[in-house]
Each structure stands twice: as C-alpha cells, then as structure tokens.
C-alpha cells in the first residue's frame, strides 16, 4: 500500500526546486527595479515601444511594420502548434503509467515509482504545456490587433488608438510570447522529474544558471571595456622608408 511517506523525497525535491526558481526571479525583479534594462526583457520592451511610436509617426513604414508583425505572428503560431503537439504527447504518456513508471526510475537512487505519483508528475507537465499554448495563442491574438491599429490614419481620434496605447498592446503580445517560452524552459525540469527527484533538483539548478546567463543584458560600455585590452594591440613603430634614388645618389 502506497503512503504519503513514500512521496516525501519527491515532495521535498519539488519544493526545493520551486524555491530555487522563485529565488532567482526575486533576484531578477530586485535588479530590474533599479535598472529596467538590466534584463533582456526590459530592453525588448523598450525596443517594442520605440518601434511602435516610430512606425505610427511615419506612414511610409506601414509595409515594413506589417511584415514584421507577420513574422512575429508566424513565430507565435509555430510555437502554439508545438505546444499543442506536446499536450497530445503528454496525454499519450499518461496512459502508459503502468508500463514505464518503474522503468524510468532505474537510475533513480531514491523516490517512489508509484502510479499515483507518476500521474501527478504528468499532470504538472501537462499543465505547463497548456500554459505555453495559452500564452502563445494570446500573443497571436494581441499581435493581430496591433496589425490594424498601426495603420490607422486618425489615431488621434480615440485614446485607445494612440501610439502609447498601441505600444502597451504590443508589450502584452511580447510578454505573452516570453511567458510561453518560459513555460517551455520549465518543462525541462518537469521532464527530468519523471526519472527521479534528484534529476529534478539538478536540472532546476542548471536551468537557473542558464537563465541567469540568458536574461542579463550587459551595458555597452562594460562590454567594450572587456574587449578593449584584447582587441587593441600595440603596433610596432614602422621603419623609416628611404627612397632608392636618395640612398644611392651620394
């Protein structure tokens, strides 16, 4: 008979992994308060706002704006389709718990391979992919709204069509795309959790280290300062060139 004590290792590993990820995002929010462009998300938000204002200020850039948004929508649609396929695959995986739950725990030193716990793990993974699908679908929806709002000639007729209002909607589309990508990243520890609780801990720590490297946006001055000693070399003094006629005329 399976008891709650059998799930203790997996429960502790899940709590520690969630605490590590929460601590990282707490640190990131603390840094962003002082410097909004500390993370790449802040830089992207600034770029989207300036891009919308520039396009709505210059009517000749309408075609470029529509093409850019089309590429953005195509990317979001592709990721939403990928999330839908992953949802179907996860549902298929849940129906094979009796056959593969014990086999996948061969490398696990500790932890339960009970069918009930396997279903819980698969449900967490399924929920993660559903969040990703919803986020990418909302990104497509918001970007479709922006396509029509960018080319409105009389945008001053209503406050919801002003460049700032359109930029806010574009920001929401970008944020939804970022949430969907984060959900894909969080699926990595959840997949490793299927193999055991210690794999969940290791993959969560590795994910936080990778996100720390990807989320930071170094300033240009610091980047140039790091490259200057290696890129600037001391050139030797060039020898003085003496014309042949002058050399042999004496």
Q: What is the mean pLDDT of the chain?
A: 81
Alpha-helical runs (H) found in the chain: 8-34, 40-57, 62-94, 97-100, 115-150, 163-193, 197-215, 220-231, 244-248
Q: How many Cβ atoms sit within 10 Å of the Cβ of residue 200? A: 23
Distances (CA, A) of 107 to 10, 100, 198, 199, 200: 15, 13, 10, 9, 13
pLDDT band (50, 70, 90) for residue 219: low
- Residues 6+ away with beta carbon under 8 Å from 71: none
- pLDDT at position 5, please? 60
Contact 109, 198 (CB under 8 A): yes
Please state whether 170 falls in left (phi above 0), alpha (psi between -120 and 50) or beta: alpha
Residue whose C-alpha is closest to residue 11's, from 162, 201, 218: 201
Q: pLDDT (tens digit, 9 = 90+) per residue, 71-86?
A: 999 999 999 999 999 9
| Residue 203 pLDDT exceeds 90 | yes
- The CA distance from 116 to 168, in Å, is 44
- pLDDT at position 9, please? 82
pLDDT band (50, 70, 90) for residue 55: confident
Identify which has the larger pLDDT, 170 or 226.
Answer: 170
- The CA distance from 12 to 90, in Å, is 24
| Residue 225 pLDDT exceeds 50 | no
How large a percentage of the chain has pLDDT more than 70? 75
- pLDDT at position 99, please? 64
| Residue 110 pLDDT exceeds 50 | yes
Residue whose C-alpha is closest to residue 137's, from 183, 91, 190, 186: 183
**pTM of structure:** 0.79
Secondary structure of 9-48 in HEC code, one letter for each residue: HHHHHHHHHHHHHHHHHHHHHHHHHHCHHHEHHHHHHHHH
Residue whose C-alpha is closest to residue 201's, from 123, 127, 111: 111
């Amino acid at each position: 008979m399976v008891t709650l004590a059998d799930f203790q290792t997996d429960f502790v590993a899940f709590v520690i992994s969630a605490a590590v990820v929460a601590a990282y995002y707490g640190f990131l929010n603390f840094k962003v308060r002082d410097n909004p462009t500390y993370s790449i998300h802040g830089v992207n938000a600034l770029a989207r706002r300036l891009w919308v204002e520039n396009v709505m200020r210059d009517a000749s850039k309408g075609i470029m704006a529509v093409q850019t948004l089309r590429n953005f929508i195509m990317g979001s649609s592709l990721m939403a389709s990928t999330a839908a396929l992953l949802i179907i695959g996860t549902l298929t995986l849940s129906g094979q718990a009796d056959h593969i739950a014990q086999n996948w725990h061969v490398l696990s030193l500790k932890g339960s391979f009970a069918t009930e716990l396997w279903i819980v793990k698969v449900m967490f993974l399924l929920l993660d992919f559903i969040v990703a699908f919803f986020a990418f679908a909302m990104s497509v929806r918001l970007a479709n709204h922006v396509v029509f709002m960018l080319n409105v000639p009389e945008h001053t007729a209503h406050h919801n069509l002003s460049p700032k209002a359109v930029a806010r909607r574009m920001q929401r589309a970008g944020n939804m795309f970022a949430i969907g990508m984060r959900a894909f990243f969080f699926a990595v520890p959840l997949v490793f959790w299927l193999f055991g609780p210690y794999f969940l801990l290791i993959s969560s720590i590795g994910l936080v280290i990778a996100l720390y490297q990807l989320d930071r946006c170094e300033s240009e001055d610091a980047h140039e300062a790091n490259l200057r000693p290696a890129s600037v070399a001391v050139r030797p003094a060039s020898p003085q060139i003496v014309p042949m006629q002058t050399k042999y005329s004496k």
